[in-house]
Amino acid sequence: MNIEERNGTTVLRRTTDYKPPRSLRSWLIGRPLSTADAPHQTIGKFIGLAVFSSDALSSVAYGPQEVLIVLVAAGTAAFSYSMPVIIAIVVLLAILTVSYQQTIHSYPGGGGAYIVARDNLGELPAQTAGAALLTDYVLTVAVSISSGVAQLVSAYPVLFPYRVWISVGMVLFIMLINLRGVKESGITFAFPTYFFLFMIYLTVLVGLFHYLTGTLGVVTNPPVIEAVKATVPISLFLILRAFASGTTSLTGVEAISNGITAFKEPRSKNAGLTLIWMAFILGSLLLAITFLSRHIGAIPSEDETIISQFTRTVYDGRGILYLATIASTTIILMMAANTAFADFPRLGALHAGDGFLPRQLTYRGSRLVYSSGIVTLALIASGLIILFQASVNRLIPLYAIGVFLSFTLSQAGMARRWWKVGHLKPGVEVREQGSTLRYEDNWIIKMIINGFGSVCTAVVMVVFATTKFVDGAWIVVALTPTLVAIFFSIHHHYKSLAKHLSLEHYGPPPRILRHRVILTVGGVHRGTLAALRYARTLADDITAVHVSTDAAETDRIQKKWETWGDGIRLVILESPYRLFIEPLLEYIEEIDKKRQPNEVITIVVPQFIPKHWWSRFLHSRTADTLRKVLFEHKEIVITEVPYQVE
């Protein structure tokens, strides 16, 4: 054990030699990591794509389907609009990619929309962005896991009745993997991610080959839907609804900007390249799958997904390639939740660090991850899955509003940042909480890019909220301001507490002029005498108190006390209704009312500790009860004196 020399100061530093022992916990999530291991837990671009892009990449499995689900209301003829809708979504993806590239390089410390809005727009927009993103991350887990299980059920319909519990089980499994650490979870999920990319690109290329050679067939035995003929006319509102549903494919684009600190140096460069890779893969797959699904006559249905119909048509059946593709798709959809598990705890820690969420979310666990945030996310997402019965169609309307709100605020914040940069003098630096401002010649171009991105995402958000409002989007619209109000309430509590605990303008605390000790006596035994011996070290003014519920027992205690009480007065409180706590509290409160200024009352409670842990439940916990009812009383201290029984 190393102890630094004092060198004239009253502060000593020592390094402990203690290492956490192996336990069931270490077997589940790995051996504890020291703080010094943190730099070695960063990841490169290859692993980063698996960790932070699984949400966006997995959306190719349900994005095109969500577009077709809306269009089918106007009949299968409306499917011809699916490609223009997807092209518009890919254009929006390109705009977001360029915009977030600027965010990544301007804020290398990460934080994404929350940090950008906080530094440039103020606390209210920042908390709004944070609330929207936290909500979206919860929904990401619920939607991606439910969608993954839907793929599994498409291949094995017999599992349909168990889809909810399979989904919850997968959430808990991914939670466990993430508790093992960012690097280890990234390595664990890297192989499934690249296996999915290989299988889905293989399926797309084979499908394009069949299309170009004229051998691409149509879906055999497509799912039966209630209406295949037009029930509503094709209108701009219908197209906008389809576009809004399809934009769920863009959730996750911001994830890399939130998790820059997880990347190896140079962080911004590695994160920026990973974002470009992700955008290219996502855009190309959205276009190809939508194009081919349109030509094979795929029908959107909860009984069988578009990906399943597309894959079995390309491979002409449910052979090994079909099963491999569906398996990889199921896995990547479930892994999409991993993006939320990587970002939700980080964002929660930022909020908590600023005092808008419980401080416990800032604590890193034994594997250098924000364990409390990971567990919190898993519990809330599992509750949503159970509430909505793992139905993707019921969960989707809640999805994406939050993320587009955060997109809008992030890009507006970046536009504001470039405006501030443009008004600095060359060579002048201004340090803000999340970044450093320096004059840049091309600030106008960057401001226009982010401003245009903000307008685009704001339009999408309004369209989504309007078209999906009655389908369930109203829940998120109401939830976001509610969360913001809760955040500010928590912040007010922390500020008020800090003000009351502050040592500023605080003189020396008043001396304790008198110390009165009350010793509770349930019986006269070795534990009681140990507590009495301790009480004598506190003060000379000691009163032993016994609550009498049995006259014979009280007589025995009185006789023993006269022998062993060492002259300390014993007050017997008669309790005709055989109550224990109430008469004791009445006596304590009576003493408290007579308490003099700068007088402290200490209640000493003897507590013997049995040898076996299970036998502790056989004994009352008087000190715990007193603490619960007296903790709001000033100048009353409750001390438990343990006596170990060998």
Distance between CA 560 and CA 562 in Å, rounded? 5
Asked if residue 254 and residue 155 are part of one domain, the reply reads yes
Peptide bond into 192 cis (omega under 30): no
Asked if residue 490 and residue 560 are part of one domain, the reply reads no
Between 188 and 614, name the one with better pLDDT. 188
**DSSP strand pairing (436-438 vs 599-609):** unpaired
Asked if residue 525 and residue 487 are part of one domain, the reply reads no
In a domain, 17, yes or no: no
Q: Is 513 exposed, middle or buried (0-12, 13-18, 19+ CB in 10 A)?
A: exposed
Mean pLDDT of the region 435-451: 89
Torsion of the alpha carbons at 205, 211, 213 and 215, rounded to the nearest 10: 110
pLDDT grade, residue 616 (50/70/90)? low
Helix (H) or strand (E) holding 125: helix 123-155
Q: Which of 66-80, 99-113, 623-637 has the lowest mean pLDDT?
A: 623-637
Does the structure show a pLDDT above 80 at 479?
yes
The pLDDT of residue 421 is 92
Q: Which two tokens stand for residue 322?
A: 């079909």
Does the structure show a pLDDT above 90 at 592?
no
Mean pLDDT of the region 523-532: 89
Asked if residue 445 and residue 578 are part of one domain, the reply reads no
CB proximity list for 379: less than 8 A, separation 6 or greater? none
pLDDT digits (tens, 9 = 90+) for 488-507: 999 999 998 888 877 777 77
Cross-strand bridge partners of residue 3: 14
In a domain, 88, yes or no: yes
Residue ending a domain, choose from 495, 527, 544: 495
The pLDDT of residue 228 is 46
Distance between CA 325 and CA 299 in Å, rounded? 19
User: Has this prediction a pTM greater than 0.95?
Assistant: no
In a domain, 505, yes or no: no
In a domain, 577, yes or no: yes
In a domain, 392, yes or no: yes
Mean pLDDT of the region 426-436: 85
Q: Is 471 exposed, middle or buried (0-12, 13-18, 19+ CB in 10 A)?
A: middle
Asked if residue 538 and residue 406 are part of one domain, the reply reads no
Q: Which of 379, 282, 237 is nearest to 55 (CA)?
A: 282
Lookup result for tokens 């304790």:
512
Q: 107 by DSSP, 3-state: which? A: coil
Cross-strand bridge partners of residue 570: 544
Does the structure show a pLDDT above 70 at 4?
no
Q: Which of 399, 475, 470, 91 is nearest to 244 (CA)?
A: 399
Cross-strand bridge partners of residue 644: 609
Would you say the C-alpha torsion 604, 610, 613, 615 has a positive or negative sign?
negative
Asked if residue 115 and residue 246 are part of one domain, the reply reads yes
Residue 370 half-sphere exposure, CB side, CA atoms within 13 Å? Answer: 26
Q: Mean pLDDT for the chain? A: 84
Asked if residue 537 and residue 422 are part of one domain, the reply reads no
Asked if residue 295 and residue 158 are part of one domain, the reply reads yes
Helix (H) or strand (E) holding 478: helix 474-501
In a domain, 91, yes or no: yes
pLDDT digits (tens, 9 = 90+) for 533-583: 999 999 999 999 998 888 898 999 999 999 999 899 999 999 888 888 888
How is residue 232 annotated by DSSP? Answer: S
The pLDDT of residue 614 is 65
Residue ending a domain, choose from 464, 495, 526: 495
Does the structure show a pLDDT above 80 at 387?
yes
- First-last CA distance in the chain: 32
CB 521 within 8 A of CB 528: yes
CB 84 within 8 A of CB 313: no
pLDDT grade, residue 357 (50/70/90)? very high
Q: Which of 518, 516, 528, 512 is nearest to 585 (CA)?
A: 518
Asked if residue 158 and residue 52 are part of one domain, the reply reads yes
In a domain, 18, yes or no: no
Between 508 and 353, name the one with better pLDDT. 353
* One-letter amino acid for residue 499 of the chain: K
Asked if residue 587 and residue 455 are part of one domain, the reply reads no
pLDDT grade, residue 229 (50/70/90)? very low
* One-letter amino acid for residue 596 of the chain: Q
pLDDT grade, residue 278 (50/70/90)? very high
CB 603 within 8 A of CB 626: yes
Would you say the C-alpha torsion 442, 457, 255, 70 has a positive or negative sign?
negative
Distance between CA 124 and CA 107 in Å, rounded? 20
Does the structure show a pLDDT above 60 at 232?
yes
CB proximity list for 50: less than 8 A, separation 6 or greater? 186, 189, 190, 192, 193, 194, 335, 338
Mean pLDDT of the region 311-327: 91
User: What does the angle CA 388 – CA 389 – CA 394 come to, to the nearest 5 degrees?
Assistant: 45
Asked if residue 415 and residue 367 are part of one domain, the reply reads yes
Does the structure show a pLDDT above 80 at 74?
no
Q: Which of 411-425, 434-448, 497-511, 586-600 has the lowest mean pLDDT?
A: 497-511
The pLDDT of residue 400 is 73
Mean pLDDT of the region 611-627: 65
CATH number of residue 281's parent domain = 1.20.1740.10
The number of folded domains in the chain is 2
In which domain, by residue range, is 268 found? 41-495
Q: Is 225 exposed, middle or buried (0-12, 13-18, 19+ CB in 10 A)?
A: middle
Mean pLDDT of the region 123-129: 93
The pLDDT of residue 227 is 47
In a domain, 29, yes or no: no
Q: Which two tokens stand for residue 28?
A: 């589940």
CATH number of residue 565's parent domain = 3.40.50.620
Helix (H) or strand (E) holding 61: none
pLDDT grade, residue 249 (50/70/90)? confident
Asked if residue 564 and residue 456 are part of one domain, the reply reads no
CB 565 within 8 A of CB 528: no
